Structure 1
Amino acid sequence: MLLKLSITALIGLLSSAVSFTNADCTYSGGNYYCAQTDAIIYSNVGLSATYQDVTKMDESSCVCTQAEFTASGSLAPFNEELSIHFRGPIELLQFGVYYPNGESKALKKRSEKQLVESCNEQGETVVSRHKHQHKRDVAVEYVQVTSTVYVDGSGQTVTAGSTNTIVGPAVPSSYNKVSTVLSSGAQAVETSASPSLAVSSKASSSSSSAAAASSSSSSSNTKGDWSRGSYFVPGSTTNCTFMNNQGGAAGSGVWSSCFGNSISFAASDGISGAASAQALGEVTVKSGNEFMIFSGEKCSGNNDDCGYYREGIPAYHGFGGDDKIFVFEFSMPSDASGSAYNQDMPAIWLLNAKIPRTLQYGDASCSCWKTGCGEMDLFEILTAGSDKLISHIHNGQDGGTQDYFDRPTDGTLKAAVIFNSSDKTIHIIEVDESFDEALSDDVVDQWLSKSGSSAALP
C-alpha cells in the first residue's frame, strides 16, 4: 500500500529533519558534510535514457560528430562498460572485479581466448580537470526511493509531483534539499529558499525500515558464488590494463593539436606513458596525477564491439554487465607540499568507458559525458587536505549524499562496490574480508545486509 502524507505531516517531518541536521551537518570549504558512514546505497538505479555518443573525431577540422544513443536495462547506464579512475595522492594496494555464477570474464558473453592477462597503470598531469571539482549545495542520504522536498525559512511548501529517480535532480544553490525515505508513491514538494542549511534524510523515522527492506531484497536475489575475473596487486595483474592520458609521449596513443593527448599505456610509476602494458608498482601517485584501469580485453575494431574510439589509441574494453563487484584497497596519504592542480585532493571514480576512449578532458562534444552517459564518484575529496570522502552520481540527474567515508591517510581502506540488478541498487561498502579468487554468497549477502541496514554510522 502506498504511503500517503498530508502537507501538514510533511512539514512536521521536515521540521524534525531540520533540527537533526543543524546538530549533525557542518559547512566547510563550500560543501556540506553530515555523518561518517561505512556504507552508501544508491537505490532505484536504471533509467532508459538517451545521450549523445561520439561517432567521429575529425583531425582535419577539429570537429567531433555525435549521434543519439539509448541506454536501457537494469542499472543503466552503469550496466555499460566502465573504466576505473584514480587521482593522487593515492597508493593502490588491491583492485579486483567479480562476476556472479562463475562468469569470470572481463565482460559477459566474451570469448575466453580474447582475454589478455596483463595490466597497465597510469598517472597523468592534465591541464583542465573540470569533472572533479564538484561543489555540493545539498546534503542528501539516498537509501530507498525518496521524496524530495524544498523548504523555505518559514516552512512554506508547494507540491511539485512525485519522484522515482536514482538520486534526484540537481539542486540550485538557492534551495535547501531534504530527502526523506517514504515510498515510491510519495509526493515531492518544492519552493525557493535561502541556502542557509542543508538537511540529511537520516532524520526520517522510516529510514531504517526502508533500508531493511532493501537489504532483504538484495540478499534474497543474489544467486551463486562470485568469481574474480580481474585482479591487481603492485607489480602483478590479471585481466586489467593500466592507462593514463600521456598519448603520443612514450610509444602509445596519439597527440594532436585538435584533441591533445589521448589515453596511453601507463608505466609502472603511474605517471609516465609506456609503449606497452605494465603493472602499477608499489608507488604512491602524487597530487595532480591520474591513472585508470580497463580490462585486459582489446577492442576488436573501431565502431565494432567498443563503439567508436579515437584512432591510434590502445583501445580496451571496460567492465560491463548488470551484476558485478569492484573491490579496492587503497591509502590516500596527505600531500600538501606541492602546488599541483587538485593538490591533496585524491579520488576514485567510474566513467562510461566510451569517455576516455574518445576524450576525457576537452571539448564536450568529443565525449558523451556532458549528455549523461555516466560517471559515479566513489570516494572523492572535495577540498584540499580534507579527510572526508564523498560519493556522487552524474548521469543527467546529479545527486549523492553528504555523509562521508573517513579518508585513509595513515592506514588503508578496503571497500566493495556492488552492482545489484535484481533490486536496482549500487552499494558502496567498507569491508574487512580478503579478496580471494571467489566470494561466497554468504559474504556478499553480509555486505548487502550491512549497507542496507545502516547507510551511515551514528
Structure 2
Amino acid sequence: MKFSNLAAFSTLAAFTSVASADCDYVSGNYYCSETDAVVYSNVGYSGSFMDVTNMDESTCACTQEKVTFSGAMAPLDQELSVHFRGPLKLLQFGVYYPSEGTSLKKRDATASEDCSTVIQHQHRKREAAVAVVEVTSTVYVDGDGELVSATTGSAVGFSDSAVSTAVVVTSSLAPASSAATSTAAAASSAAASSAAASSSAASSAAASSSASSSASSSAASSSSSSGASGSGWQRVSYYSPGSTTNCTFMNNEGGTAGSGVWSSCFGNSISFAASDGVSGASSAQALDEVTLASDKEYMIFSGVDCSDDSIGDCGYYRGDIPAYHGFGGKTKMFVFEFLMPHDYSSSTNEDMPAIWMLNAKIPRTLQYGDSTCSCWSTGCGEVDLFEILSSGSEKLITHIHDGQGNDGTSTGGGGTQDYFARPTSSSLKAAVIFDGSDESIHVLEVSGDFGSTLSAATVEEWLNTSGSSAALSS
C-alpha cells in the first residue's frame, strides 16, 4: 500500500490455477469472491530488516543498521501505527488486549448446536461453500494475465512497467465449516493489569500521554502471551468523534502548525493532527466527525510518548517530532467502524480509500520518500486491512507485506484476492485480531457494540466467521 503498485502476492499452485479460477481482472487487479473474513495463518518468522539510525540534515542522507527478529507474529508483534486514507469517515476505533487468564477457543459447529448467534456476526453470509485460499508461493502475471515468474521463497524484483500485478487466486470450494478459524490467546499478566487500568483512564478529547501512559503499557509494547480460562478482552484505547482515550491522531503536516518539522531534505515530518484530520496542530486533538477527502491521510498512535521508555524503546526517530508509541504485542485486537463514500476530488489516489498498519518506526522517520530513511523497503512490516486498489472500486483487498517467504524484502508476505464490500452508504464494523498463540491474524466484519470489555464468547463468535484463509510460508 505504501509505495508500490506492484504487490507480491502468493498462491499455492502454479499459474494454471489462476486461469481456471472464477476471478475477474479489473484495472490491473484480480478479484475473486466477496467475503466476510480473511484469516492469515503461520504468521511470523526469523529474519531481519534495516533500521534507521540517523537522518543527517547536512547531507540529506540516512544511515541504517541490521535488526534481527524471530518468533510468532514477528515482525508484526512490534509496535504498529494505524493509518487511514480518504475518502473515509471514521466513527469508532478501539484497541483491546486479553484480560488476565483469558483463553478463547474455537467452538466447532455440530448438528445439535444453535448457530444463529454465530451467523448474526456475519453481515453477508455466503453460500455453504466458500473460497479457501492457501498461500505458499509467489506468482507474477502481466496485464494480459500471462505468467511472468513464480518463486517458492527467493526474492524476485521487476522494474518492467509491463508487470502490472501479481495474483493470489488458488481457490478451492470447501464447506464453510472447514474454513480456517483459530484461538485467540491471552496476553501477559502485566499487559492485563495495564489494560484494566486503561479502562478508567481519562477520556478527554486531548488524549495526552500523561493521562494514560502507565495505563496503556500493554497497548504500546506487550509482546508475551499465555493461556488459561478467563473473562475476555479489555479495551485500552478508544475513539469516537470528538473524544479519545489513549489515542493520538497525527498526520504528515510537520512544521506547519506548531508541531513537527519541515526540511528541504526530508520534507514534512509527522505532526499532531487538528480535529479536521488534515491540518496540523500544536497539541493532540480528538478527531471530529469528519469525512476525509480523497488522498488525505491521518494516523493513530497510542497516547504514550516515546520519552516513556518503561514500556519499551521507540528506537531512533526524527528529531523535534511528537514521537509516540504504537500498539505492540503478539496478541491484540483492533476494532473499527467506518464509511468509505465515493469522492473524486483528488488528482492522485482518486477515490481510493484505505486502512492499513505500519511498523510504527516508519512514520516516526519518513513514511514517504527515500527508502533508506525507513525500514519499509526491507520488510519491517505492513498490513493492508481494507484497501481500494483502483479509483471508484467497490472491492476492498487485504494483504500482508513483510519479508516472510522471501529474503527479507517487503515483497514477501501474502494475501488473497477475495474482497470485502466497500461501505459507501452505511457503516462497516470490523475487527482485526492478532493471535500469537496460533500465529494467525483475522480480518473480519462484525456486529455489536465495542464496549469497555468484550466477552470471550463474543470474540469466539467473531473468530468462527467463515471466509478466506491465507497460509504464509516460512
TM-score, length-scaled by structure 1: 0.74
Q: 2:414 aligns with which of 387, 399, 405?
A: 399
Cross-structure match for 2:82:
84
CA contact (8 A) 2:433 2:441 kept: yes
Cross-structure match for 1:30:
28
Residue 443 of structure 1: CA displacement?
1.0
The amino acid of 1:445's aligned partner reads E
Cross-structure match for 1:355:
362
CA offsets 1:373-400 (integer angstroms, 9 cap, x no match)? 0011100001111000011111121421
The amino acid of 1:403's aligned partner reads D
Cross-structure match for 1:318:
326
For the residue of structure 1 that corresponds to 2:244, the secondary structure is: strand
- Alpha-carbon distance between aligned partners in 2 of 1:314 and 1:215, rounded to the nearest angstrom: 39
Cross-structure match for 1:439:
454
CA contact (8 A) 1:82 1:351 kept: yes
Q: 1:215 aligns with which of 181, 186, 200?
A: 181
Cross-structure match for 1:203:
172
Question: Which runs of 5 or more residues in structure 2 are unaligned?
Answer: 1-12, 102-130, 142-146, 187-226, 404-411, 470-474
CA offsets 1:59-96 (integer angstroms, 9 cap, x no match)? 11111110000122220111000000000000000000
- Alpha-carbon distance between aligned partners in 2 of 1:433 and 1:222, rounded to the nearest angstrom: 25
Write out aligned runs for 1:98-177 (5 A): 98-102=96-100, 146=136
CA contact (8 A) 1:222 1:441 kept: no
Q: 1:55 aligns with which of 53, 61, 73?
A: 53
Q: 1:259 aligns with which of 254, 257, 266?
A: 266
For the residue of structure 2 that corresponds to 1:203, the secondary structure is: strand
Cross-structure match for 2:197:
none
Q: 2:343 aligns with which of 335, 344, 364?
A: 335
- Alpha-carbon distance between aligned partners in 2 of 1:438 and 1:149, rounded to the nearest angstrom: 42
CA offsets 1:305-330 (integer angstroms, 9 cap, x no match)? 11000000000000001100000000
Q: 1:65 to 1:387 in 2, by over 3 A?
A: same
CA contact (8 A) 1:17 1:199 kept: no
Q: 2:93 aligns with which of 95, 102, 124?
A: 95
For the residue of structure 2 that corresponds to 1:370, the secondary structure is: helix
Residue 146 of structure 1: CA displacement?
4.3
For the residue of structure 2 that corresponds to 1:237, the secondary structure is: strand
Cross-structure match for 2:467:
454
Residue 101 of structure 1: CA displacement?
1.8
CA offsets 1:327-358 (integer angstroms, 9 cap, x no match)? 0000000002x233111100000000000000
- Alpha-carbon distance between aligned partners in 2 of 1:219 and 1:446, rounded to the nearest angstrom: 15
CA contact (8 A) 1:416 1:428 kept: yes
Q: 1:171 to 1:392 in 2, by over 3 A?
A: farther
- Alpha-carbon distance between aligned partners in 2 of 1:56 and 1:252, rounded to the nearest angstrom: 20
- Alpha-carbon distance between aligned partners in 2 of 1:432 and 1:404, rounded to the nearest angstrom: 18
Cross-structure match for 1:423:
438
For the residue of structure 2 that corresponds to 1:402, the secondary structure is: coil
CA offsets 1:267-289 (integer angstroms, 9 cap, x no match)? 00010000000000011010121
Question: Which runs of 5 or more residues in structure 1 are unaligned?
Answer: 1-12, 104-140, 175-193
- Alpha-carbon distance between aligned partners in 2 of 1:320 and 1:79, rounded to the nearest angstrom: 6
Q: 1:54 to 1:25 in 2, by over 3 A?
A: same
Cross-structure match for 2:204:
none
Cross-structure match for 2:424:
409
- Alpha-carbon distance between aligned partners in 1 of 2:150 and 2:398, rounded to the nearest angstrom: 29
Cross-structure match for 1:287:
294
CA contact (8 A) 1:101 1:223 kept: no
Q: Determine whether 1:368 maps to 2:375.
A: yes
CA contact (8 A) 1:144 1:210 kept: no
For the residue of structure 1 that corresponds to 2:386, the secondary structure is: strand
Write out aligned runs for 1:240-259 (5 A): 240-259=247-266
Residue 150 of structure 1: CA displacement?
9.1
Residue 244 of structure 1: CA displacement?
0.2
- Alpha-carbon distance between aligned partners in 1 of 2:158 and 2:423, rounded to the nearest angstrom: 32
Q: 1:275 to 1:223 in 2, by over 3 A?
A: farther
The amino acid of 1:322's aligned partner reads K
For the residue of structure 1 that corresponds to 2:362, the secondary structure is: helix
For the residue of structure 1 that corresponds to 2:76, the secondary structure is: coil
CA contact (8 A) 2:47 2:69 kept: yes
For the residue of structure 2 that corresponds to 1:292, the secondary structure is: strand
- Alpha-carbon distance between aligned partners in 2 of 1:333 and 1:43, rounded to the nearest angstrom: 32
Cross-structure match for 2:392:
385
CA contact (8 A) 2:182 2:440 kept: no
Q: 1:249 to 1:379 in 2, by over 3 A?
A: same
CA contact (8 A) 1:242 1:266 kept: yes
The amino acid of 1:215's aligned partner reads T
For the residue of structure 2 that corresponds to 1:86, the secondary structure is: strand
The amino acid of 2:432's aligned partner reads V
CA contact (8 A) 2:132 2:173 kept: no
Cross-structure match for 2:279:
272
Q: 1:102 to 1:389 in 2, by over 3 A?
A: same
Deviating above 3 A after TM superposition, structure 1's stretches of 4 or more consecutive aligned residues are 13-20, 141-151, 158-161, 168-174, 194-199, 207-211, 216-224
- Alpha-carbon distance between aligned partners in 2 of 1:417 and 1:71, rounded to the nearest angstrom: 23
CA contact (8 A) 1:170 1:399 kept: no
CA contact (8 A) 1:45 1:424 kept: yes
CA offsets 1:177-214 (integer angstroms, 9 cap, x no match)? xxxxxxxxxxxxxxxxx999967333165x86763xx4
CA contact (8 A) 1:331 1:410 kept: yes
Cross-structure match for 1:127:
none
CA offsets 1:75-133 (integer angstroms, 9 cap, x no match)? 01110000000000000000000001259xxxxxxxxxxxxxxxxxxxxxxxxxxxxxx
- Alpha-carbon distance between aligned partners in 1 of 2:286 and 2:166, rounded to the nearest angstrom: 46
- Alpha-carbon distance between aligned partners in 1 of 2:71 and 2:337, rounded to the nearest angstrom: 30
Residue 252 of structure 1: CA displacement?
0.2
Cross-structure match for 2:313:
305
